[in-house]
Amino acid sequence: MASSPTGGVKAINIEGRMARERKRLLGMTDEERAWRAKFLKSQIIPPGEPIETPEYYKEYYNPLKRLIRIPLNLMENSLAPIMGKRNALVTRTVTSKLIIGIVGIYCTWYYAKYNTAVCKLHLYIFVYTYIEYTKSIYFVHKLISSIVSLKEMVRKKKYFIYIYIY
């Protein structure tokens, strides 16, 4: 029954008598028909919809978020007459995501370039913890008798580990 679209359960028609217009209107009075016609007319969206009110915008976004959104709002509003409202919104969204991605790449590049000692520190902590005592005999190039931080070891190049596997 896994291949069945209903999973083995008998399908039911949820439309009922609403599937056909004649049956849908079958038991209605003239008053109900007038109400239904009015309801259907109200469902047609006029060209000016949806109406954007400034009060809703102020309630929905806090002041800091409104301040951050100003540059891309200006770009979107200037592109809307040229490209159309939907395409301007898509352009705004793609632009914001690209900016976030570029800033992330730059931050990663800066961290990798200027914090190599920290990267080496993490690497050597991993090396110290990874060595298995039963399979290898290892010793540090110089015995560290005094308490020296790992950052100092990396800076002074005293972090060589020799591993002998028998």
Cβ neighbours for 2, distance < 8 A, ≥ 6 positions apart: none
State the pTM of this model: 0.45
**Count of other CB atoms within 10 angstroms of residue 92:** 19
Q: Would you say 88 and 76 are in contact if contact means Cβ atoms under 8 Å apart?
A: yes
pLDDT in tens, 51-88: 888 888 888 899 999 999 999 999 999 999 999 999 99
Query: What are the domain boundaries of the chain?
Result: 14-46, 53-137
pLDDT in tens, 81-111: 999 999 999 999 999 999 999 999 999 888 8
